[in-house]
Amino acid sequence: MFLAFSTFFVIGTLRGLITGQEEAKPLQLVIAVVFLIVGIGLTINFLKTTVTFSADTIELKTIFARKSLPLSAIRGRREYVVRGGDADAGGSTRYLKLVPNDDRLPTLDFMKNYTFDDVFYRWFYELPDLDVEDKKVHKDANFGLV
């Protein structure tokens, strides 16, 4: 979506210059090109992201980072949804999260819409559900009370 927006922004900026209807606005053109480059980068990152299992680790690799988590160090799983800016439009992204049992290890978050097989989901849903565990724990709400 961001790539489409930035492409239309560049086209709109250039169209006015080419047809002679608008004067050159260098700052607007620079911003449009930067948006386009960011859109291309985000699209490439999305297309190149991989989740890989080995015998003892799971690895999340993007063009920006590589994180691996030993299978024996996984404390549990979480699922969450990130909603888009317009709640009425219904845009949202679902994420799966692997939480380590050691704060020095990375947490792995990846979109649920990757093509995972049934074996992955069976393994994932056998992990402890940390969201359910959080709901079981009573939390006092005395913050700010005198």
Q: Where are the domains of the chain?
A: 2-45, 74-136
Q: How many residues does this entry show for the chain?
A: 146
Instruction: Specify the pLDDT at position 88.
Output: 55
CA-wise closest residue to 131 among 78, 68, 81, 82: 78
SS (H, E, C) the chain: CHHHHHHHHHHHHHHHHHHCCCCCCHHHHHHHHHHHHHHHHHHHHHHHCEEEECCCEEEEECCCCEEEEEHHHEEEEEEEEEECCCHHHCCEEEEEEEEECCCCCCCEEEECCCCCCHHHHHHHHHCCEHHHHHHHCCCCCCCCCC
Scanning the structure block, which residue is given the tokens 């999305």?
Answer: 46
Instruction: Specify the pLDDT at position 126.
Output: 94
**pLDDT lower than 50: segments of the chain:** none
Spatial neighbors of 127 by CB under 8 A, at least 6 apart, are 74, 76, 77, 98
Q: What is the pTM of this model?
A: 0.68
Instruction: Specify the pLDDT at position 3.
Output: 80
Instruction: Specify the pLDDT at position 102.
Output: 93
